[in-house]
Each structure stands twice: as C-alpha cells, then as structure tokens.
Amino acid sequence: MDFRHIDAFRAVMLTRTATKAAQLVGTSQPGISRLIAELERSTKLTLFNRERGRLEPTAQALTFFEEVERRYAGLDNLREFAVRLRNPEASVVRVGCVVSFSLGFFGRAVAAYRHAEPGTQIALSIGPSEAIRNQVVARSLAVAFVTDAGDFAELDAMSFCNVDSLCAIPAGHKLAKKRCISLSDLHGEPLIAYEPATMVRWGIDKLFASHDLSSQVVAVVRYGINVCALVREKVGIGLVHPVNAYDYLDTTGVVFRRIESPVRFHALRIKPRTPAATRQVETLIGVCEATLADVLRDVDAKL
C-alpha cells in the first residue's frame, strides 16, 4: 500500500465512480480499478461492493476513509506550514467551535481579528464538542471552543465561558413584561427542551423534574439557536446560552429575560500542548476573549 492506492481510494470515496475518480487523480478508469483491487488485497479489507456500475463503500471503507481524511488534514497542515516558511505573513489558522459560538460571536471575532492580522486566513470547523476535540488532538485544528463535557487531559484546556442561562420568550407574551422569570412562572407554559444528553449535561433535566415542568415540553431540539427559532414562532419558551441570545438581539419576535435559579453554561478553549501556538493563534485567542466580553455586555444591556 502506498500513496497511489490511498489517492485512488479517496478519489472513489469522494466521487463514487471509477471514471470520475480517474479524472480527479489524472489516471484511467482501469488504473483506478487496479489500484483499488491492490489496496483491498494488501489490507485484506472489502472496501466496495460493485453494483450497477457504481462502487458502493462498505462499513470498513467508511471507517477507513475517516482515518484517511485525518491524515490528509495533516498533509494540508504541512502545506500551510511550508507556505508560512516561505511567506510568514501568509498563513491559515484552523479553528473549531460548537454551533453556539459559530454565528454572531464568531463573525464579530473574525471581523476584529482581520484588523489585527489582515494577512491571515481563518478556516472554521463546526461540530459537536467530541468531534472538535478529536481534531485538536490530531492537530488538524490549532484552537477550538467547546463545551466542557469530555476528557481534555491531553490538551491545553482553559475555561473560556461560564455564564448563566437566559429565558427566551415570544415577544408579546405576558411573561415578557417581567424583568426576571421564576420557575413557577413557567407552569402551564409550553416549553422547548434539548436532547436528553444535553439536558443531563447542564442539569436542565433536574431543573424541569424538580418543578414538574417535564410534561409541558412540546419540542425537543439539539441547539440553542433552534430554541430561539421556535420561540420566535411562538412555539414555546426555552433556556438558552447568552451567546445564542446575541444572535437574536435584533430579531423581532423573541425577548430574553434573566431567570431565577439558572443553569450554568460552561465552555473551554482548547489547543494542542505541542507545538507552541503561533503568534496568529495567540492573537485569535485574545480577540475571541475580548469579543466574548463585548457580546455578553451587549446582551446584558438588552435585559
């Protein structure tokens, strides 16, 4: 097995046909078929089912492809490193974050970063904390912002955000007239909840159970931005991260209020321990910290 086999395999996984894969790597269709057959023989894996002229990947192929993509990410990092050696001002910072930080917050951070590092390109990856963590471990991301659920012992991890949840309420709702919402105020109101794992992680499940609110859930979503979208459509009321609230501050249809006995949302800044972060990465971290303070200040001013 050598790079020719891996290139052929990756091309087939991306295009799903030997003809298009051949065009992608600059060889012939029989050449692609031969390389795939050699790869299967050398690895003793069945990577594709040949049906109706298409190469359908097996479960083994999908798993193998994940590892191949991780290695290709490493090659991309080497190419970028070479570019930086040739031209230190032309560089790319690969950053990851969970969905909560990917919209208004990240847009504002990048805008500020461009003033500090105009020659640096930002490449953003968005996903669940575990997936982003794995990319940082593999050094395909230079820095990331994630929730603090998981094992980060092998990384340089520091607290980034530790804030109280807010209550998102449809505009015009009777509770929108209050400055602070008590949990008893939510009795009889339709509520929007998160998926069970998220509810448990933040302790929202216990909060709902202790106040007999669980039976009032009318919708279950994965992200805070989904809560805000449903609140805007008057589906119900929900708890959100202040950074999610920032994305909807200028949106009619939803208002935010403090809530008694709020749950706390925690986030971490993570990066590889080695090699040392570049100046561009450290600058981005500083910009993100300053942006978070500005975002929370703007949200607080609207409450």
How does pLDDT run across 165-224, given as a tens digit for each residue? 999 999 999 999 999 999 999 999 999 999 888 888 788 888 888 889 989 999 999 899
Is residue 29 in a domain? Answer: yes
- Is it the case that residue 252 has pLDDT exceeding 90? no
Which DSSP category does 48 fall into? E
Q: How many domains does the chain contain in total?
A: 3
Same-domain status, 41 and 104: no
> What pLDDT is recorded for position 3?
80
Mean pLDDT rounded to a whole number for the chain: 87
Note whether 104 and 28 are same-domain residues: no
Whether residues 99 and 142 fall in one domain: yes
Residue 220 lies in a domain: yes
> Residue 195 and residue 220: Cα distance in Å, rounded?
6
Q: Are residues 253 and 272 in the same domain?
A: no
Per-residue pLDDT, averaged over 112-126, amounts to 91
Domain that holds residue 220: 166-262
Q: What is the pLDDT of residue 80?
A: 60
pTM above 0.85, yes or no: no
Instruction: Write the CA distances from 93 to 99, 113, 124, 144, 282, integer angstroms.
Output: 19, 11, 9, 11, 10
Whether residues 115 and 242 share a domain: the answer is no
Do 91 and 230 share a domain, yes or no?
Answer: no
pLDDT digits (tens, 9 = 90+) for 220-248: 998 999 999 999 999 999 999 999 999 99
In this prediction, residue 74 carries a pLDDT of 64
Residue 14 covered by a domain: yes
Q: Is residue 123 part of a domain?
A: yes
CATH of residue 221's domain is 3.40.190.10
Residue 76 lies in a domain: no
Per the structure block, which two tokens stand in for 161? 């955000």
Q: Tell me the CATH number at 43.
A: 1.10.10.10
